[in-house]
Every structure is written in structure tokens, then in C-alpha cells.
Amino acid sequence: MSLISANKKNKTNDFALGQKNITMVQAITDALDVMLERDERVMLLGEDIGKNGGVFRATDGLQKKYGEDRVVDTPLSEAGIIGTGVGLAVNGMRPVLEIQFLGFIYPAFEQIATHVTRMRMRTRGELTVPMVIRAPYGAGVRAPEIHSDSTEAYFTHMPGIKVICPSSPYDAKGLLISAMEDPDPVLFMESMRLYRSGKEEVPEGYYKEEIGKGKKVKEGKDVTVITWGAMVKTAKEAADSMENRDIECDVIDVRTLYPLDQDIIADSVQKTGRVVIVHEAHETGGVGNDILSVINKQAFMYLKAPIEKVTGFDVPVPMFSLEDHYLPSAARIQTAIHKVYSF
């Protein structure tokens, strides 16, 4: 577990007072709560986030606590939410915008691609958009169509926005707080599968995890497995089971998809020379290929085998009767680890 970075910049109640054992969705609520408390400029906007507390209850109780002015049920309009957020952010607020599912962010695509990400550039920093867009993503929870998209690559290709995808309650809270204090826009992806899939000790109060830094979740010398979000658990499971066959894996949770932590990737690949990249997005154009590019640049001479990718296919995420086949499984990852190991 990472150390608490006791950032005490703004207020005094920075010290972790204790720990609590909570799920990822609770950790997210907690981060929002901490920041609403610390910083008056923070406002939450979204569909059903107020009275209803969000369709996943990520904002449960917050409207009651902070009022309808700060935790706002908006009309059903993603371009409206993000566009209004741009105005709020430019004019001094710190909007956190919930997009109900990542698959419904597309109506706001123009706002993100042409304004959220370009305002600083266009005004040389005179006007900026410190905004967090939160969006549940991913397959595996038997959700209806479109709800299961994992389309982070649209945003990593968009200059001017950071993309974060935590895999644990601890990281989720620390990274969300960092995102909310970041001077630039952040897309914060939350795995629906992980929302309630396990608890972890999380410090109370304020702490930050550094954006742009990956994390080793398992140490090994033979094969590097690189992934993020919901796939961390699956990859770890696969890597653990490879120990039976005497294959030791380095498992890296990159946590931030843009900017990527090139060092953690390069260091590991220089050690192992064998790589498996795992993600649930479509293979073509996926962030896996950015990782490939990092490796090509930083560790080409160390590679002992072609890099393997275990990813979603180049097909729309299927309806739930077949989604388990779409999603990378531990078994598929094992096959890939074995393949690069025995190349």
C-alpha cells in the first residue's frame, strides 16, 4: 500500500485521522465529501446525483449535506453538463461532473475535444478548466447495451486532458482528490465491476495519490504484465496462478492512462524482456498500443519476444449473454503469459 502524501496546502484538517474499511464506491463518495468540505468552489453536477445519490450511490447523502446549490441534479444532457462545467471552471469553480456511464459521454464529445481540453492552450493559461469528469465504465456487470463501453482511448488521444483509472478503494480516493486539485481537466474512470467487489483500509480525511504514477501490484522477474482498472484483479489472478509453473510476473497497474508512467514500464520490461498487455477496450487503437510504443522507445533492445496483448476484440461490447467472452479472462492472460515466456 502506498504511503499517504500528507499534502497540507489549503486547509488544516489534512491528517489522516484513522482508517476505515470501505469499498471503492464508498472511497469515491468519501473523496467527494472531503473535498466538498475543504473547498467551497467544489460543485457536483450530474444526472440523478442529488436526491437519488447517483445510480451507483457514489454521491449518496452529499446533496443533503451540502445543499442543492452544490450537488446538482441536472437535466438529461451531457453536452449541457460538460459545457456548463466549462463555464463554471473558467469562472473559478471546481466542478466535478458525473457522466452516468462512460458510454453516454459521447454527446459531450465536442465540448471535451474542442473546449475542455483546449481552453488553457487557446488562452495561454489565462482561462483554465480545472474539471473532473467522473464516469463508470466497463463490462462484466450484466448492464444493458452501451453501458459497458471502455473507450478511454478516445480521451488519451485528446491533448489536454488526463485520464485516470484506479483499481482499488485506496487509489480511487487518493487519485480522485488529486484530480480535484489538479489545475487541468481529468477524466476519472470508475470500474463498475470494482465498485463493490471488495473492501480495503482507506485513511479518513484528506490524502493524495500522485497522478501519472503506476504501481507494482506483484513483483516478478520473468514476464511483465501491464494493465489497469478492473483488469488488475484479473491479471493478478492470472499471474499468481503462473507461479505453479514457475513463471514469476511483474504486474503493473498503470493507474493513469495519460500521461503514462514510462519509467515503471521501462524498468520492468528492461528486466523481464517479455510483456503481456491487458485491457478490456478494443484492441485496435487501444491504450495497449501506446504502451507498445513506450516499450519500443524505452526498451526495444531488451525485448526477447513479441509483446502479447489480451484485450477486448474489435467489436462492440456484446450484450450481457456474451460479455464474458469479450472480456479478457484470467485464463486467456495465462495463455499469453505462457506464450511470451516460452517464445
Partner 1 sequence: MNFPLVRCIKEDGNMVDPSLKEKISEELVKKFYFHMKRIRAFDRSAKNLQRQGRLGTYAMYEGQEAAQVGSALALDTMDWMLPTYRDHGALLTHGAEMMRVLLYWNGRMEGSFHPGKRIFPPAVPIATQLPHAVGTAWAEVRKGTNNACLVYFGDGATSEGDFHEGLNFASVLKSPVVFFNQNNGYAISVPVYKQMNSESIVQKSVAYGIPGIRVDGNDIVAVYFETQKALERAKKGEGPTLIEAVTQRFGAHTTADDPSKYRDQEEVERQREHVDPIRRLERFMHKHGFENETWIKETEKAIETEIQEAIMEMENFPKAEIEDIFDHVFEIMPRSIVEQKNEYMEWIRGEKV
Contact residues for a copy of itself, defined by CB under 8 A: 103, 106-107, 109-110, 113-114, 117-118, 121-122, 145-146, 151, 153-154, 156-157, 159-160, 258, 281-290, 292-293, 296-297, 300-301, 303, 305-307, 309, 313-316
Q: Determine phi and psi for 240, rounding to 5 degrees.
A: -55, -45
Whether the CB-CB separation of 256 and 162 falls below 8 Å is answered with yes
151 binds, among partner 1, ligand TPP, a copy of itself, none (CB under 5 to 8 A by kind): a copy of itself
Among residues 115, 147, 279, 282, the one annotated as catalytic is 147
89 binds, among partner 1, ligand TPP, a copy of itself, none (CB under 5 to 8 A by kind): partner 1
Does the active-site annotation cover 147? Answer: yes
If the CB atoms of residues 229 and 286 are measured against a copy of itself, the closer one turns out to be: 286
For residue 317, the minimal CB distance to ligand TPP (Å) is 15
220 binds, among a copy of itself, ligand TPP, partner 1, none (CB under 5 to 8 A by kind): none
For residue 47, the minimal CB distance to ligand TPP (Å) is 5
If the CB atoms of residues 81 and 202 are measured against partner 1, the closer one turns out to be: 81
- Neighbouring CB atoms inside 10 A of 75's CB total 8
Whether the CB-CB separation of 224 and 214 falls below 8 Å is answered with no
Strand intervals (E) in 238-319: 249-253, 256-258, 275-282, 308-312
Residue nearest ligand TPP (C-beta atom): 104
Q: In what order do the strands lie in the sheet with 94-98?
A: 71-73, 42-46, 94-98, 132-137, 186-191, 162-164, 256-258
If the CB atoms of residues 32 and 336 are measured against a copy of itself, the closer one turns out to be: 336
Q: Which residues contact 12 (CB under 8 A, 6 or more apart)?
A: none
If the CB atoms of residues 99 and 231 are measured against ligand TPP, the closer one turns out to be: 99
Q: Which residues contact 111 (CB under 8 A, 6 or more apart)?
A: 79, 82, 83, 86
Cell of 140: 462484466
Residues binding ligand TPP (CB under 6 A): 47, 76, 78, 100, 104, 107
Q: Which residues contact 60 (CB under 8 A, 6 or more apart)?
A: 29, 53, 54
Cα–Cα distance, 161 to 132 (Å, whole number): 10
43 binds, among ligand TPP, a copy of itself, partner 1, none (CB under 5 to 8 A by kind): partner 1
For residue 90, the minimal CB distance to partner 1 (Å) is 6
Is the sign of the CA dihedral 114, 120, 123, 129 positive or negative?
A: positive
If the CB atoms of residues 47 and 200 are measured against ligand TPP, the closer one turns out to be: 47
Strand intervals (E) in 4-140: 19-22, 42-46, 71-73, 94-98, 132-137
For residue 254, the minimal CB distance to a copy of itself (Å) is 13
If the CB atoms of residues 3 and 301 are measured against a copy of itself, the closer one turns out to be: 301
241 binds, among a copy of itself, ligand TPP, partner 1, none (CB under 5 to 8 A by kind): none
**Residue numbers annotated as active site:** 147
